[in-house]
Amino acid sequence: MGDRKTPQSILPATEEIDTEWADLDNEAPTMPGGGMDSDRPTAVPPEPPEQYARRLMAGTMSPEEERKALSQAPYKIRDSLIPARDAMPTLIDENAGSYDIEAIERTIPQVTSPAAHFVRKPEPIPLNLPEEGGGALDLVRGAHSTPVIPQPDDPLVEMRDRYAVGDFTGALAIAERLLVEKPSNAEANRYMVSCRDILTQMYTARLGSAGQVPRVVLAADQIRWLTLDHRSGFLLSCVDGISSVEEILDVSGMQGLDALRILCELLQQGVIEMKPKR
């Protein structure tokens, strides 16, 4: 951490999120503790990333889901579980006989936030901030005089905060919950659309592209021992080694985002691998 100034526990607004990390000019993004310097503004949680993510997700995930999500966090590579070479959304030599785990880790964003994975800058979404004094910096500055304390009870605030720190899954879950309660909630709707768009890009990027063809790499008797739900089981049954991701989304009958997420999970668990379409 060095002498880097740690901000208060105020979450950054959209403008502060760096979406350019995937640019070839730059290395992987950094977070405190990541061991890499960067002059880019970053959100620094006041606690270790894993603990931070756990706290953030606590509202939307069951303990089991949380455990699963954290076990799949991209920086936690366990050889026994993840065939990392294929699962990693990075530039690794397909033909290399072995791989350098440290090199892989360097290419992986060391944050728990899914924001670290998207490759295209998300469409900025208009936040309902006042004309004056509503910018992200003002929000931080304002904290000196009138401390702004996140109100966990207010789902709108939580949704914005989660979006701002790149927890798009969490923000989406809240937005959808809000829309169930009040379908005319324009802000929730905007967040929902934006989150879906970003998550779709993220998941697609993790899978390589929608034209890639997933192939089951585990034997049928091994698959039975995985912890999958019936939706994952169904999607896995659609993976035939011929159909592309796009085609699988078409036949799944699921929401595209759900199907992409499940495919990403299957990829991360080493159940499937991605190949270019022949």
Residues that bind another protein (CB under 8 A): 24-25, 64, 91-94, 120, 208-209, 211, 220, 223-224, 228-234, 236-238, 242-243, 247, 250-254, 256, 276-277
Distance CA 197, CA 119 (A): 12
The residue (of 142 and 215) whose beta carbon lies closer to another protein is: 215
The residue (of 83 and 208) whose beta carbon lies closer to another protein is: 208
Whole-number minimum distance, CB 19 to another protein, in Å? Answer: 14
CB neighbours of 177 closer than 8 A, spacing ≥ 6? 155
Whole-number minimum distance, CB 252 to another protein, in Å? Answer: 7
Whole-number minimum distance, CB 134 to another protein, in Å? Answer: 31
The angle, 0 to 180 degrees and rounded to 10, between the axes of the packed helices 186-207 and 256-268 is 40
The residue (of 188 and 239) whose beta carbon lies closer to another protein is: 239
Report the phi/psi class of residue 208: left, alpha or beta, with left for phi > 0 and alpha for psi in -120 to 50. Answer: left
The residue (of 72 and 90) whose beta carbon lies closer to another protein is: 90
Whole-number minimum distance, CB 215 to another protein, in Å? Answer: 15
Q: Per DSSP, which regions of the chain are E strands?
A: 213-216, 272-275
Separation in Å, CA 127 to CA 9, 12, 88, 135, 162 = 20, 13, 33, 10, 13
